Each structure stands twice: as C-alpha cells, then as structure tokens.
Structure 1
Amino acid sequence: MIENAETLVKQISHGIYVIGVGKGERQNAFTAAWVMQVSFDPLLLAISINPGHYSYRLLQESGVCSVNVLGQQHYAIAEHFGRSAPDKMKGFEWQAASTGAPVLAESLAYFDCEVSHYADAGDHKIAVCKVVSAAAMLNQGRPMLYNQTGDMDGSSELYG
C-alpha cells in the first residue's frame, strides 16, 4: 500500500477535459483527467475511460469523440459532466465536429478524433484516437489542472 496515494498522484500534471461521444441522436459527455498526446505523426491522443459507463458503449459504437479542453473557470462544468445523470448535455451549447462528435462550445479548444484502437488498463480501457481536426474555441483562460479539482471525482476513496 502506498501512503497518501491520492495526494501524490495529483502531483502528476494533467488537465481536465470533457469528452463528447455520440452516435446519431444518442449523445453523452463525461469529464476525464487521463488524456495525453502519445504520437506526433499521426497526431494521437490516449483517453482513459471506464468500460462500465454508457459513454464507453457510445464510443465503441460510433468510433469518434471530441476532447474538449476546460479552463480554470470551468469547475462547475467539470463537476457536472463528472456525474451520471439523464439528459446531462441539456443546458449546454454543442456543435458537431467533422466526425459528428459533439463539441462543447464553452471549451478553450477541442480535438476531433477517430478511435484507432483500444488497450486494457486495469479497471479502465485506453482509447487511442487519431486527431482529424482541432480548433481553439475561447480566446481566454488557462487550462484547468487535475490538482485544482480537489476530491471532485471522489478518487480518494478508490486508492487501496
């Protein structure tokens, strides 16, 4: 057992994102902190996702997603999409990316992605995604970092 694992892991810098997934009318979004670039050519991002969640099934069906970068001013958005709820996307402005994935209009930037492949990662799956387009959305703000969210995700209870 690692003493204070929840505190130590938050020292690994990574941002907070809303991942938009969907197939046709069925769309969803979830908050993710485990996203990273894994290749320059082609530009690939890796996203960690719980395979028990509805969003994972939508991602598998559609094969596309958006990675929306949240700013430090978006704590409430991160908290909202970190919960399971019906009609979670209602009340937010969404645009369709070229792949059809939903893009959060309030994000600092977004990456429109196609899933390349999956890998097992403990209690999560890693979706390795090829970036097909990307753009800046808001021209202000700094990206939110995971260590700025406190225990919003309840992860302190998950370390054994």
Structure 2
Amino acid sequence: MDDLFKQLTHGIYVIAVSDGVHHNAFTAAWVMQVSFDPPLLAISINPEHYSYSLLQAGGVCTVNVLGQDQAHIAEHFGRSHDKDKMAGFVWQQGLSTAPILANSLAYFDCQVSHYTEAGDHKIVVCNVIAGAILHRGKPLLYNQTGDMDGSDELY
C-alpha cells in the first residue's frame, strides 16, 4: 500500500501554529487547495499532536512550502520532539500572528474556518488571508522523501 499511496503527487510543507503565546511547527504532506473563492486550503492533522491543540486554541496557521533542497527541514519538523524545535530557524510573524518560516519558498497565512473528521486525522479547512512567494525554486515532493515519515510501517 505504501508504494501505491506514494504515487499521489503532493508537496511537503511546514505548518506553523500559534495560540497567541505558544508556537509550534510540524511537517505535513496532506495539504490541498479546496476553493478559489474564497481561497481555502485543507490540512490533515493528527488530533493527538501538540500542534493540534495550539491550532484549536489559536485558530491560525501558516503553510510554508519547502524547496527540493530543504528535506532536512522537513525531517527536523517531522521527527523532532525537542522542547523548542523552532529554535535555530528564522521566523516572521504573519498577518494572522502565526509564524512564517523565512527561508521557505512561499507561505500561505491562514485562519481556521472549520474542522471535519477523517479517520485517525482531522481535516482543517482554512481561509487564506495572506501569502507570498519568498524564494524561487522547485518544491519538495512527497515521493522524493523516501520513508522519512515512517509511513512504510503504517500500511
């Protein structure tokens, strides 16, 4: 099954969340545009993770697009359980107050619209309130990361 699901083409992103006081970030691959008007993105998140509680409390996030040369960043935010895993990276504050990863290719600044149940995850539908292309480059794709997320053992 793992090989089959890796045929789905999608990018790798760092999702940064904030409750107004605390910030966190995690790596996500299950992100997609779901509307033109209004501009909406959907993000899949594990509700057992710390970032989910911050997202629920603050209602804001950024979707930061990683470049092909940034797999190490994806790995850091995908596996790190450090108390302050955001340290060592340059962050800016978005319009929503959620952190923006300064060296990402681009970002979408979002406010949560609503949540939907999706098996062992939640789908978070977000209004895009701002965003920009920060650097030019090719985005990092999920099928370029091997088993970085450990998904092979889940299928």
TM-score (norm. length: structure 1)? 0.95
The match for 1:132 is 129
Match of 1:156 in 2: 152
Correspondence for 1:105 among 99, 102, 108: 102
CA–CA distance in structure 1, aligned partners of residues 40 and 33 of structure 2: 6
Unmatched 5+ stretches in structure 2: none
Deviation by residue 1:4-38 (Cα, 9 ceiling, x = unmatched): x1011011000000000012331000000000000
- Name the structure 2 match of 1:28: 24
Q: For 1:3-152, list aligned pairs within 5 A.
A: 5-83=1-79, 84-138=81-135, 140-152=136-148
Q: In structure 2, how many angstroms separate the alpha carbons of the residues matched to 1:40 and 1:88?
A: 33
Structure 1 residue 85 displacement after superposition: 2.1
What is the percent sequence identity of the aligned residues? 68
Letter in 2 for 1:63: G
CA offsets per residue over residues 117-154 of structure 1, 9 Å max, x none?
A: 0000010000000000110111x210000000000000
CA shift, 1:103, in A, is: 0.3
Alignment-mate amino acid for residue 100 of structure 1: T
For this pair of structures, how many residues does the alignment match?
154
Greater Cα offset, 20-29 or 53-62: 20-29
Where does the alignment leave 5 or more consecutive residues of structure 1 unmatched?
Answer: none
Secondary structure of 1:12's aligned partner: coil
Q: Which amino acid aligns with 2:34?
A: V
Q: Which amino acid aligns with 2:84?
A: D
Q: State the SS of the aligned residue for 1:67.
A: strand
Aligned counterparts of 1:36 and 1:82: Cα–Cα separation in 2: 18
* Structure 1 letter corresponding to 2:137: G
Identify the range of structure 1 (20-29 vs 91-100) with the bigger mean alpha-carbon deviation: 20-29
- Aligned partners of 1:25, 1:70: CA distance in 2, in Å? 25
